[in-house]
Amino acid sequence: MRAEKQLLTKEYATRLNASPFFIVVGYQGLKVAHMTELRQRLQKAGAEVHVVKNSIFRIAAKEAGVGELNGALAGQMAVVTGQKDISAAAKTLKNFAAEFDRLKLKFGYLNNQRLETAAIMALADLPGLDVLRAKILGLLVAPATKLAVLINTPASQLVQVIKAKSEKS
């Protein structure tokens, strides 16, 4: 393998090891302006897309310990990686694919577990990580709030009775 290809393979292997997930998409037929738009949208979601040659990516994935890709790499493809949550990137890809039907989700990996297209679409339908955290926090705080209301209810009723008695006198 030539030195340039070895360097690219090493770069992609490093990128795959640094990211908890990656999603492989087919982009055949997309124009440069559309790819630029996709890059900008993914950047807002904390992810990035890179066009990669299939043979180089196959070697990089093997070096990164992803496992056998079983001939899933065919045609023009790009790889989406990121440091944040996968659902934001998947949601961006799903919305973009709905607008420009040239983008095709192929498969992905999350923590070395293969995800098919249906699983990626299910992740896209999940709320964002911040929303999930807020819901969990709300569930944790709700019982404490109800307890505080229940504790304060007899005291407030007693105050109302005393106030009514004093107004009567």
pTM of structure: 0.70
Structural contact between residues 49 and 42, judged by C-beta atoms closer than 8 angstroms: yes
**pLDDT score for 45:** 83
Q: What angle do CA 137, 142, 144 make, to 5 degrees?
A: 105
The CATH number assigned to the domain with range 3-126 reads: 3.30.70.1730
- Indicate the pairing of strand 77-82 with strand 21-26: antiparallel
**pLDDT score for 83:** 83
**pLDDT score for 127:** 79
Token pair 């989406």: residue: 80
Domain ranges of the chain: 3-126, 127-169
Which phi and psi (to 5°) does residue 66 adopt? -70, -35
What does the alpha-carbon distance between residue 138 and residue 81 come to, in Å, rounded to a whole number? 31
- Kindly report, residue by residue over 133-147, the tens digit of the pLDDT: 888 888 888 887 777
- Kindly report, residue by residue over 19-62, the tens digit of the pLDDT: 888 888 888 888 888 888 888 988 888 888 888 888 888 888 78
